């Protein structure tokens, strides 16, 4: 049985556009997928929502997973955070992300 392949698009800090393919639960969260396949030196706190280095801005789409208090607190101290901000380490990798477009914000 083959798993369905989903797609998302992101822009890095330089504005370069990348297309990503993934399967549900291939990784625990969005940060792990991007770190393993596309990025280096990202996620200083290893996914605990403490550092803000995996800060992204949602450009198109919606993430159904609600923010927990740790993520809200971390985003509250990031000057560039908006109502479209999320931490990639707190976003489960599932089919809800299919078609998502986001921008990776510069690290703190």
Separation between Cα atoms, residue 104 and residue 33, nearest integer Å: 14
Residue 108 has pLDDT above 60, yes or no: no
Q: Which two tokens stand for residue 53?
A: 């280095």
Minimal CA–CA distance to 85: which of 42, 43, 47, 54? Answer: 54
Residue 44 has pLDDT above 80, yes or no: no
pLDDT reported for residue 95: 94
pTM of structure:
0.91
Minimal CA–CA distance to 20: which of 103, 100, 107, 92? Answer: 100
H-helix or E-strand spanning residue 76: helix 69-76
């Amino acid at each position: 049985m083959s798993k369905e392949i989903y797609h998302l698009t992101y822009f890095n800090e330089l504005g370069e556009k990348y297309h990503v393919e993934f399967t549900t639960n291939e990784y625990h969260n969005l940060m792990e997928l991007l770190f393993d396949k596309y990025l280096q030196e990202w996620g200083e706190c290893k996914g605990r929502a403490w550092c803000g280095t995996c800060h992204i801005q949602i450009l198109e789409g919606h993430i159904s997973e609600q923010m927990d208090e740790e993520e809200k607190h971390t985003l509250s101290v990031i000057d560039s955070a908006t109502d479209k901000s999320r931490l990639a380490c707190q976003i489960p990798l599932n089919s809800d992300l299919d078609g998502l477009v986001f921008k990776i914000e510069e690290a703190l």
